[in-house]
Amino acid sequence: MFVVVGITFNQELKTERALEALKNLSNPRALVIRDGEQKRIPGREVVKDDILILREGDRIPADAVVLSCTNLLVDESLLTGESLAVRKSESSDLIQSLQSWHTGGDDMPFVYSGTLVIQGHGVAQVIATGIHTGKIGKALGTIAEEDSLLKKETVLIVKNFAILGGVLCSLVVVVYGITRGDWLHGLLAGLSLSMSILPEEFSVILLIFLSMGAWRMSKRNVLIRRMPAIETLGSSTVLCVDKTGTLTLNKMILSSIYSGNEYLEIDKNGCLVEKFHELLEFGYLASQQDPFDPLEKEIKKILKNSL
């Protein structure tokens, strides 16, 4: 029992530490204006009506309406699954904009929590934080933890054995007491019989197998936060996932170049002819030094590989 409990405790402790480290790593830091000064604060400390300064590479910590911007492009693939960045415009009427708050896409004055600024800069006012940023947060807050099917079936089996043991215990006590007149020994015999029937080892065996499953999956870089997840994964017949970032890499790849009425397939040609090389060179010079835009990243990568 001590070995099993130790394995379980150690596995869950390692998982919690890893998840906490990932949470701290993914927690964005926001640049806000407070008391007339720019301050860099953790994203979780952003409150409603804060003024955010958005810059290239910033992870947006809350839902906000854009007050002013210049060439602001935002990656909303976290919400829409589309890897192509969308263009944002500034709001001309804050009250009217709030009526269409949850409308995303091009030329809309809204930026959303968790999205990434790809290009440009701007100023935005926070309109919602935390669970108020959308339906997903509210839905997650209403999820109630349920017992797994394996636990329910185990409880049912133990309950049935307990009823059977109680009935046999009473029968043994009555029969022993009537036939031998020794009710004390009859009670002890009945209790011994009922205890031997109860499947006490069920929970131990199940815990051992679940712990071993979690340990084996951790060797393949899969974190198991709760042991019943092993059972759920093993009994799954249909898996529905968001393909962006799961089945795909969630990034753009520059596959062809067009210049002078000619196409060049990047994957099929290891080297670039001069006019295509010149096109990429000018594209590189027009890009940021450390770009976040996916197209600028691809131009820099291909030009580097061709040198």
Q: Are 121 and 88 in contact (CB under 8 A)?
A: no
Spatial distance between the Cα atoms of 25 and 29, rounded to a whole number of angstroms: 10
Mapping DSSP to helix (H, G, I), strand (E, B) and coil, where does residue 264 land? strand
* Count of all residues that appear for the chain in the document: 307
Q: HSE (CB half, 13 Å, CA atoms) of 106? A: 3
Mapping DSSP to helix (H, G, I), strand (E, B) and coil, where does residue 95 land? helix
Active-site residue, 58 included: no
- 28 CB contacts (<8 Å, ≥6 apart)? 43, 58, 59, 60, 61
Query: Of residues 106, 147, 242, 290, which has the active-site annotation?
Result: 242
- 198 CB contacts (<8 Å, ≥6 apart)? 158, 161, 162, 165
C-alpha radius of gyration, the chain, whole number: 31
Q: HSE (CB half, 13 Å, CA atoms) of 111? A: 37
Give catalytic residue positions: 242
